Chains A and B, each alone.
Chain A
Amino acid sequence: ILNVEQSPQSLHVQEGDSTNFTCSFPSSNFYALHWYRWETAKSPEALFVMTLNGDEKKKGRISATLNTKEGYSYLYIKGSQPEDSATYLCAPILTGGGNKLTFGTGTQLKVEL
């Protein structure tokens, strides 16, 4: 069983604050790591797919880094906006796992005005 941990479980920030979340996973047999953003009543939406140690991806105000040797990824949001309110899920895929995503429990972000 692949143990994926995300922290914090939930986060309340003010508009304009920058924030970051952590995803921890076993580093052996690593193939890829996915970050998904999931707004209430919508479909989970892919943010990033990361594969290389030291990888850094960016989409607007959101960025992510990956450390496969120590088994963690950080997601950063700069200048949070109310529309960033969502649950952020990470899911690693192992080599030979056949695209099976193993999700963490997610970080629920609430951005308040």
Chain B
Amino acid sequence: ETGVTQSPTHLIKTRGQQVTLRCSSQSGHNTVSWYQQALGQGPQFIFQYYREEENGRGNFPPRFSGLQFPNYSSELNVNALELDDSALYLCASSPRPSGSQGEQFFGPGTRLTVL
């Protein structure tokens, strides 16, 4: 069974640029959630995708957007990057969007630095 993978591992961008981060969910999981962990904070929920549709969103502006593909892999896109977007971005997959006591499996994260 393959775990959750994310790419790239590290990324450096400049202000105003756009970035795409990728996540492959664990086999058999149809739900992917994205989290942002800024320095000194716990991971903050960005949004969740279930069967290619957004299924809940945290307190993030519209320039944070996502996609989920038929194979349940997912992308997180951030437009017009700001310095405060520098963070570790985690994705987590789960077998369904609710129930199962919310068990989620995390990838190792993508470290984004915005200069």
**Is B103 interfacial (CB 8 A cutoff)?**
yes
Check B4–A46 contact: CB distance below 8 A: no
What are the residues of chain B within 8 A of A49 when measuring CB–CB? 101-103
Give the number of residue pairs across the A-B interface with Cβ within 8 Å.
Answer: 75
**Is B28 interfacial (CB 8 A cutoff)?**
no
Check B3–A93 contact: CB distance below 8 A: no
**Is A59 interfacial (CB 8 A cutoff)?**
no
In A1-18, which residues have CB < 8 Å from any B CB? Answer: 1, 4, 6
Check B102–A103 contact: CB distance below 8 A: no
What CA separation (Å) do A98 and B3 show in the bound complex? 22
Check A46–B103 contact: CB distance below 8 A: yes
Interface size on A, residues (CB 8 A): 28
Check A42–B33 contact: CB distance below 8 A: no
Check B101–A32 contact: CB distance below 8 A: yes
Chain B: CB-nearest residue to A103:
B42
Check B44–A43 contact: CB distance below 8 A: no
What CA separation (Å) do A4 and B45 show in the bound complex? 13
Q: Which of B11-19, B76-84, B105-113 contacts A (4 or more CB under 8 A)?
A: B105-113
What CA separation (Å) do A103 and B104 show in the bound complex? 13
Check B109–A103 contact: CB distance below 8 A: no
- By a beta-carbon cutoff of 8 Å, the part of chain A in contact with chain B is 1, 4, 6, 31-32, 34, 36, 41-46, 49, 51, 89, 91, 93, 97-106
The 7 lowest CB-CB distance pairs between A and B, nearest first, are A103-B42, A99-B102, A93-B102, A44-B106, A49-B101, A43-B106, A98-B56
A-B contact pairs, 10 of them (CB 8 A): A31-B101, A32-B102, A43-B3, A43-B4, A49-B103, A93-B101, A98-B56, A98-B98, A99-B33, A99-B102
